A and B are shown apart, each in its own frame.
Chain A
Amino acid sequence: MFLSTIGYFCWYIAAKSEETVDSSYNARLDTFSQRVVRGEIRGKNGEVLARTVEDAKGEETREYPYSNLFAHVVGYSDAGTTGLEASANSYLLATHVSLLDQVSNEAAEIKNPGDSVVTTLDPALQQLACDALGDYNGACVILEPDTGKILAMVSKPDYNPNTVAEDWESLISEENTGANLLNRATQGLYPPGSTFKLLTALEYIRENPADWQDYRYECGGTMEYGDAVMSCYEGHVHGGLDLRLSLANSCNTSFATIGQTLDLDSFHALCESFLFNKELPLPAGMEYRQSSFVLDGTSGLAERVQTAIGQGKTMISPMHNAMIVSSIANGGILMSPYLVERVESADGKVVKQFMPESAGRLLSVAESETLTNFMVAVVNEGTSPSLRSDSYQVAGKTGSAEFNSNKEDSHAWFVGFAPAEDPKIVVSIIYENGGTGGSVATKGAKKIFEGYFSR
Chain B
Amino acid sequence: MTNIGIQAAKYIMLVLIGLYTMSTYHYLRMKTHKRRNQACGMQLFCMFALHLTGYLAIILYTNERSMIYFYGAQVVFFILYLVLFRVFYKKASRLLLNNTCMLLAVSFIMLTRLGPERAVRHFVITAAAAAVAMAVPVIVRRMRYLWRFCWIYAGIGLLALSVILVFSTVSGGAHLSFDIGGLFSLQPSEFVKITFVFFVASMFQTSLSFKRVFVTTAVAALHVLILVASKDLGAALIYFIAYLLMLFVATRSYFYLLGGAAAGSLASVLAYKVFAHVRVRVQVWQDPWMDATGDGWQILQSLFAIGSGGFLGTGLYQGMPEVIPVVRSDFIFAAIAEEFGGIFAIALLLICLSCLLQFLWISTWMDGMFYKIIAFGLAAVYGAQVFLNVGGVIKFIPSTGITLPFVSHGGSSIMSTFIMFGIIQGLYILKQDEVDRIEQEEKLERRRQALYEKRYETGAAGPGKSGKRRRRDPSGRRADQDR
Residues of A that sit less than 8 Å from B by CB: 1-2, 4-6, 8-10, 12-14, 16-18, 20-21, 23, 25-28, 31, 103, 106-107
Choice from B292, B297, B319, B386 contacting A28 with Cβ under 8 Å: B319
Q: With contacts A8-B391, A12-B306, A13-B306 known, what are 10 further pairs, Cβ within 8 A?
A: A1-B387, A4-B396, A5-B387, A8-B396, A9-B342, A9-B390, A12-B307, A13-B311, A23-B292, A23-B300
A131 to chain B, nearest CB (A): 39
Cα-based distance from A20 to B3 in the complex (angstroms): 26
B314 closest partner in A (C-beta)? A28
Given known contacts A21-B308, A23-B304, is B293 in contact with A9 (CB within 8 Å)? no
B321 closest partner in A (C-beta)? A28
B3 closest partner in A (C-beta)? A106
**When each residue 1-35 of chain B gets 1 if its CB lies under 8 Å from chain A and 0 otherwise, what string results?**
10110000000000000000000000000000000
Among all A-B residue pairs, the 7 with the closest Cβ atoms: A17-B307, A21-B307, A26-B304, A8-B396, A13-B342, A2-B353, A28-B320
Cα-based distance from A89 to B300 in the complex (angstroms): 18
Given known contacts A17-B307, A23-B300, A31-B320, is B1 in contact with A12 (CB within 8 Å)? no
Chain B, range 233-257, C-beta contacts under 8 Å to A: none
Cα-based distance from A16 to B3 in the complex (angstroms): 28
Choice from A8, A20, A107 contacting B307 with Cβ under 8 Å: A20
Q: Is B349 at the interface (CB under 8 A from chain A)?
A: yes
Contact status B304-A13, CB under 8 Å = no
Q: Which residues of A contact B310 (CB under 8 A)?
A: 13, 17
Q: Is B284 at the interface (CB under 8 A from chain A)?
A: no
Given known contacts A25-B293, A25-B300, A28-B320, is B307 in contact with A5 (CB within 8 Å)? no
Cα-based distance from A430 to B13 in the complex (angstroms): 59
Cα-based distance from A369 to B283 in the complex (angstroms): 47
Contact status A21-B349, CB under 8 Å = no
Which of A13, A21, A27 is packed against the most chain B CB atoms within 10 Å? Answer: A13
Cα-based distance from A106 to B395 in the complex (angstroms): 35
Q: Is B203 at the interface (CB under 8 A from chain A)?
A: no
B384 closest partner in A (C-beta)? A1
A19 closest partner in B (C-beta)? B307
Q: Is B394 at the interface (CB under 8 A from chain A)?
A: yes
Contact status A25-B292, CB under 8 Å = yes
Q: Which residues of A contact B3 (CB under 8 A)?
A: 106
Contact status A5-B323, CB under 8 Å = no
Q: Which residues of A contact B346 (CB under 8 A)?
A: 6, 9-10
**When each residue 277-317 of chain B gets 1 if its CB lies under 8 Å from chain A and 0 otherwise, what string results?**
00000000000000011000100110110111111000000
Cα-based distance from A13 to B308 in the complex (angstroms): 9
Cα-based distance from A300 to B311 in the complex (angstroms): 58
Choice from B1, B300, B301, B309 contacting A107 with Cβ under 8 Å: B1
Contact status A9-B320, CB under 8 Å = no
Cα-based distance from A58 to B417 in the complex (angstroms): 53
Q: Which residues of B contact A21 (CB under 8 A)?
A: 303-304, 307-308
Can you list 12 A-B pairs with a CB-CB distance of less than 8 A? A6-B349, A8-B391, A8-B396, A16-B307, A20-B307, A21-B308, A23-B300, A25-B293, A25-B301, A26-B304, A27-B323, A106-B4
A16 closest partner in B (C-beta)? B307
B289 closest partner in A (C-beta)? A23
**When each residue 418-456 of chain B gets 1 if its CB lies under 8 Å from chain A and 0 otherwise, what string results?**
000000000000000000000000000000000000000
Q: Which residues of B contact A16 (CB under 8 A)?
A: 307
Given known contacts A9-B342, A12-B394, A13-B307, is B387 in contact with A2 (CB within 8 Å)? yes
Contact status B4-A5, CB under 8 Å = no
Task: Tell me the interface secondary structure of chain B in the complex.
Answer: helix
Q: Is B345 at the interface (CB under 8 A from chain A)?
A: yes
Which of B293, B319, B390 is packed against the most chain A CB atoms within 10 Å? Answer: B390
Q: Which residues of A contact B320 (CB under 8 A)?
A: 27-28, 31
Chain B, range 377-432, C-beta contacts under 8 Å to A: 383, 386-387, 390-391, 394-396
Q: Which residues of B contact A23 (CB under 8 A)?
A: 292, 300, 304
Cα-based distance from A12 to B345 in the complex (angstroms): 13
A27 to chain B, nearest CB (A): 6
B397 closest partner in A (C-beta)? A5
Cα-based distance from A13 to B343 in the complex (angstroms): 10
Chain B, range 130-179, C-beta contacts under 8 Å to A: none
Q: Which residues of A contact B319 (CB under 8 A)?
A: 28
Q: Which residues of B contact A9 (CB under 8 A)?
A: 306, 337, 342, 345-346, 349, 390, 394, 396
B353 closest partner in A (C-beta)? A2
B62 to chain A, nearest CB (A): 18
A30 closest partner in B (C-beta)? B320
Cα-based distance from A4 to B301 in the complex (angstroms): 22
Q: Which residues of B contact A6 (CB under 8 A)?
A: 346, 349-350
Cα-based distance from A107 to B1 in the complex (angstroms): 6
Q: Which residues of A contact B386 (CB under 8 A)?
A: 2
B83 to chain A, nearest CB (A): 32
Given known contacts A5-B394, A13-B342, is B349 in contact with A18 (CB within 8 Å)? no
A436 to chain B, nearest CB (A): 43
A33 to chain B, nearest CB (A): 14
A9 closest partner in B (C-beta)? B394
B140 to chain A, nearest CB (A): 27
A87 to chain B, nearest CB (A): 15
Contact status A28-B387, CB under 8 Å = no
Cα-based distance from A106 to B387 in the complex (angstroms): 39
A100 to chain B, nearest CB (A): 12
Q: Which residues of A contact B345 (CB under 8 A)?
A: 9
Choice from B300, B303, B391 contacting A5 with Cβ under 8 Å: B391
Cα-based distance from A6 to B323 in the complex (angstroms): 24
Given known contacts A6-B349, A27-B323, is B387 in contact with A17 (CB within 8 Å)? no
Contact status A5-B342, CB under 8 Å = no
Cα-based distance from A1 to B128 in the complex (angstroms): 33
Given known contacts A25-B300, A27-B320, A103-B4, is B390 in contact with A5 (CB within 8 Å)? yes
B296 closest partner in A (C-beta)? A25
Q: Which residues of B contact A2 (CB under 8 A)?
A: 349, 352-353, 356, 383, 386-387
B353 to chain A, nearest CB (A): 5
Choice from B1, B304, B311, B353 contacting A20 with Cβ under 8 Å: B304
B402 to chain A, nearest CB (A): 15
Q: Which residues of B contact A25 (CB under 8 A)?
A: 292-293, 297, 300-301, 304
Chain B, range 310-360, C-beta contacts under 8 Å to A: 310-311, 319-320, 323, 337, 342, 345-346, 349-350, 352-353, 356
B103 to chain A, nearest CB (A): 15
Q: Which residues of A contact B391 (CB under 8 A)?
A: 5, 8
Cα-based distance from A37 to B353 in the complex (angstroms): 42
A107 to chain B, nearest CB (A): 6
Cα-based distance from A12 to B353 in the complex (angstroms): 20
Q: Which residues of B contact A13 (CB under 8 A)?
A: 306-307, 309-311, 342
Which of A6, A9, A16, A27 is packed against the most chain B CB atoms within 10 Å? Answer: A9
A2 closest partner in B (C-beta)? B353
Cα-based distance from A31 to B305 in the complex (angstroms): 13
Contact status B396-A5, CB under 8 Å = yes
Contact status B306-A5, CB under 8 Å = no
Contact status B303-A17, CB under 8 Å = yes
Contact status B304-A28, CB under 8 Å = yes
Choice from A8, A20, A103 contacting B303 with Cβ under 8 Å: A20
Contact status A17-B349, CB under 8 Å = no
Cα-based distance from A25 to B390 in the complex (angstroms): 22
Cα-based distance from A12 to B394 in the complex (angstroms): 8
A18 to chain B, nearest CB (A): 7
A357 to chain B, nearest CB (A): 22
B248 to chain A, nearest CB (A): 16
Cα-based distance from A28 to B334 in the complex (angstroms): 14
Cα-based distance from A346 to B390 in the complex (angstroms): 37
Contact status A18-B387, CB under 8 Å = no
Q: Which residues of B contact A20 (CB under 8 A)?
A: 300, 303-304, 307
Cα-based distance from A12 to B396 in the complex (angstroms): 9
Contact status B304-A5, CB under 8 Å = no
B383 to chain A, nearest CB (A): 8
